[in-house]
Amino acid sequence: MAKKVSSTPKENKKDIDLSVNTESGINEFLTTDQVLRINDDQNSLKAGERGGTLLEDFILREKITHFDHERIPERIVHARGTAAHGVFQLYAPMGKYTKAKFLNDTSVQTPVFVRFSTVAGSRGSTDLARDVRGFSVKFYTEEGNYDLVGNNIPVFFIQDAVKFPDLIHAVKPEPHNEIPQAASAHDTFWDFISLMPESTHMIMWAMSDRAIPRSLRMMEGFGVHSFRFINDKNEAFFVKFHWKPLLGVHSVAWDEAQQISGKDPDFHRRDLWEAIEAGAFPEWEFGVQIVPEADEHKFDFDLLDPTKLIPEELVPVQRIGKMTLNRNPDNFFAETEQVAFHPGHLVPGIDFTNDPLLQGRLFSYTDTQLSRLGSPNFHEIPINRSINTVHNNQRDGHMRQQINKDKTSYNPNSIGGGCPFQAKAAEGGFTSYMERIDSKKVRARSKSFFDHFSQATLFYNSQSAAEQSHIVNALRFELSMVTIPAIRERMLGILSMVDKTLAKQVADGLGMKVPTKPEQPINHSIPADGKPAAFQPIKVTSAVETSGALSMANTIKDTIQTRQIAILATDGVNEASLSTMKKKLLAEGAQVKIIAPRLGQITGDKGNAITVDKTLFNTSSVLFDAVYIPGGKSADALANEPDAIHFINQAYKHCKAIAADKDATNLLAASYIKNTDAANGIITNGNPKDFIAAIAQHRFWEREQQSKVPA
């Protein structure tokens, strides 16, 4: 609250100024909303350095409460989403590790509702922004709803929930002009990141192709945090959750992503909807990495650190079940928009750890739903309801739907016969894992959280040459949009801790030099003695130098199911070759569209009418995975169509498979394509088998090292 000296000389006293405070905060101390000066804004209050976050932390709760209520009614983060219904079926009982019923009965199909989303953009933003993707699954189990609220990246930007409002404030459009939308390429985001070295690992993922997936159906999902499994013997195991797509993990090119945003900003939403409507149901296998409690400290990283993953070479992923999405929502608002996820929606057999980011989320989600959905009764919205009836003493509230007939709404009671009863653990009652806690309450982080670079290096070293090149180009693009040179220089210093060559390549693109001595920001991982120190880079020697699971180059490449194939044709097309190729592609599960200069119909070389699906002016190469050019006079006519040439050039530039019949290569010759080798993804014999094999490879990224294509 600002104060001012009265302008009345006689009174000479300070009056409280209740007018709007427009001061900037420059040269002022950080305070709570009650003007209590904050001593530590980097760490939540914990029971020991690695202990649980305390409910007592009024500073954390005030900060996150304010953040949760900043936007209504749209979600503050993950606002743009799309969703689908489905089922989950277990492969084998997991009773050795967890007593959760839905993970022990292979005969039951558990209903699920899955929402995918981008993080930074508003509801009206594009699907193809470079961003983290939310991957949240609501299991409607007989023991209650279980929510696995994750992302398509296995780690996160920050280690402590107290920094989450700062992260999102930094990445959202800048407050003075609300620019840019759904983008991280601006000053405030990179200013924050350059001062938060704990974000380095996540930045490698966010600047990789994982941030621009080809399809929501072709991306992995992760629980991010370490959770606990608890079995019937009350034995605990640490567990990391994974979703592995059966179509493989694939991306688009950055230039392609930007163009898709203009051509079809609903690209991912439409893709998911149309695949389900066509009966090509997306599938993921559910995987777990399980670590016995006795092995908690055996790794060179901390299991409680959300900026770290467990390399699959150290703990393999066990695939224990499959999720199939088989039904689209009936109403977007009622289901996709009103669904309320919460990492605190658990079932017996699954529990939390003291991950400080997870601990803060457990408060934040309920608080956010109260703001968005307007009532503590949000669980009564149909999409959020359990498959079983709710029995508790909660009553009334805005938009209450359940009609309680009993007389009592308190516990204990005798009038109602003591109902509803508490359930013993043997009766399915939830009991928290009895973890021993005997610590001082501190605002601090364990020193086991201080290594910010080794896994960033592991990720970068695990990428293919093409993927590394894409990371370099992404960083060049993002940092080139930063207007303050000091921020770019700080980031180059951070990158030099990951890989010297990476830093130099990014610096070359920015016309800068990598600093010989990186700037020493304040160490935000404050130790228990509470004394902030100049940042001393800590980088342990990782037990794993490269991990094949971290590279998309090693993903599934044996299917073309649901791939979108464009056939360029016009009058005079060879009907036999077009029909043969189309039948072969459809038989493999691909989707085929005939693209012509005009809508309606074209006439084949046998005089038959062929229906046109799209035209060269209402679609684009970036919306397809591959291109086929049938023979006949059609190819000669298209060679004189600039839009057809551009269509092919774009497909070539974005490294897609292209096939042409032997008598259609004149159209290829009119394009920019110079290398027509099959190993380069160019099939010139019109052979469907060869073309299908090329499409299954997804992309031929080595073309990017060849001459640039002006498309």
Is 151 part of the annotated catalytic residue set? yes
Rounded Cα–Cα distance for residues 711 and 646 (Å): 6
Instruction: Check if the beta carbon of residue 349 is closer than 8 Å to that of residue 231.
Output: yes
Dihedral angle over CA of 447, 448, 452, 454, nearest 10: 140
Angle at 514 between CA 510 and CA 516, to 5 degrees: 160
Set 78, 342, 470, 654: catalytic member: 78
Tokens representing 209 are 């192709």
Scored b (16 or more CB within 10 A) or e, 81-101 reads bbbbbbbbbbeeebeebbbbb
Residue with tokens 């993707």: 133
Dihedral angle over CA of 668, 669, 673, 678, nearest 10: 60
- Residues belonging to the chain: 711
Rounded Cα–Cα distance for residues 589 and 494 (Å): 45
- DSSP secondary structure, 336-402, as one string: IIT----TT---TTEE----HHHHHHHHHHHHHHHHHHSSGGGGGSGGG--SS---SS----TT---
Scored b (16 or more CB within 10 A) or e, 670-697 reads bbbbeeeebebbbbbebbbeebbbbbbe
Set 151, 328, 461, 680: catalytic member: 151
Rounded Cα–Cα distance for residues 458 and 499 (Å): 10
Helix (H, G, I), strand (E, B) or coil at 278: coil
Give 604's strand partners: 573
Dihedral angle over CA of 371, 377, 382, 388, nearest 10: 140
- How many of the other CB atoms lie within 10 Å of CB of 11? 10
Is 250 part of the annotated catalytic residue set? no
* Distance between start and end Cα atoms, the chain: 57
Closest CA to 362 of 119, 112, 44, 74: 44
Rounded Cα–Cα distance for residues 17 and 280 (Å): 64
**What is the chain's percent helix, strand, coil content, to nearest 5?**
30, 20, 50
Q: Which residues are catalytic?
A: 78, 151
